[in-house]
Structure 1
């Protein structure tokens, strides 16, 4: 069942299995606020099992671009098509959020972003390759993030 993410009244709905559920919910709400403010888009997530095509898309981009396989099970996923951009998000049980930003026009921005929920360790599959910058958020506490540019066509 789809969940419309409320960034005013943050909820752990769909994220309860995560050991950092409150922080992950704050991170999800932070993303919802961004999409609301920047694109007037309502950020809605679905259980990962209900949108396997989105989970597979993100898995494929990670595997083909960098040989990365995320060990943590996916909890939720979503996709937003705004301003010629395809944003695909997967929220993982560990507290990791992976998003693929993919411009639909050739030559546009294309990148994979990683965000770590407050209180989680850097996953082993990312620890040796990425440095994470810190950002403060009223909704999510301290967010640590990193990214890489996508070279292939997806």
Structure 2
């Protein structure tokens, strides 16, 4: 069942099993606010088990680009297109959020972003490979983020 993320009243719906559910819900709401304000897009997520093709696409890019396998269980995922950019998000039980920004036009920007919920440790699979910058958010507290550029076609 899909869930339109409300960024005015932050809810942990779908994220309850996460040990950092409140922070992860704030992170998800932060993304929803961004897409609503910038693109007038309603950020809607699905249980990851109902959209395995989205999770598989993100995991394939991680594996083929950087030989990364995320050990945490995916809880929710979404995919949509705005301004010629295919966006995909996966929210994990650990508090990790991964997004893929994939410009459909040849030569456009393509990247994978990682965001860590406030209160979670850096996942072991990312710890030695990425440096995380800090960003303050009214909805999510302190967000730590990193990214890498996608080199191949997906």
TM-score, normalized by length of structure 2?
Answer: 1.00
Which ranges of 4 or more aligned residues in structure 1 deviate by more than 2 Å?
A: none
Partner of 2:131: 131
Residue-by-residue CA offset, 1:118-140 (whole Å, 9 max, x unaligned): 00000000000000000000000
Aligned pairs for 1:5-154 within 5 A = 5-154=5-154
Query: Could you tell me how far apart the structure 2 residues matched to 1:90 and 1:39 are?
Result: 20
Query: Could you tell me how far apart the structure 1 residues matched to 2:79 and 2:31 are?
Result: 12
Q: What secondary structure is seen at the aligned counterpart in 1 of 2:45?
A: strand
Residue-by-residue CA offset, 1:64-117 (whole Å, 9 max, x unaligned): 000000000000000120000001000000000000000000100000000000
TM-score, normalized by length of structure 1?
Answer: 1.00
Query: Which blocks of at least 5 consecutive residues in structure 1 are unaligned?
Result: none
Q: CA RMSD in A?
A: 0.3
Query: Which blocks of at least 5 consecutive residues in structure 2 are unaligned?
Result: none
Query: Could you tell me how far apart the structure 1 residues matched to 2:80 and 2:50 are?
Result: 16
Q: How many correspondences in the alignment?
A: 154
Query: Could you tell me how far apart the structure 1 residues matched to 2:25 and 2:86 are?
Result: 22
Query: Could you tell me how far apart the structure 2 residues matched to 1:79 and 1:37 are?
Result: 18
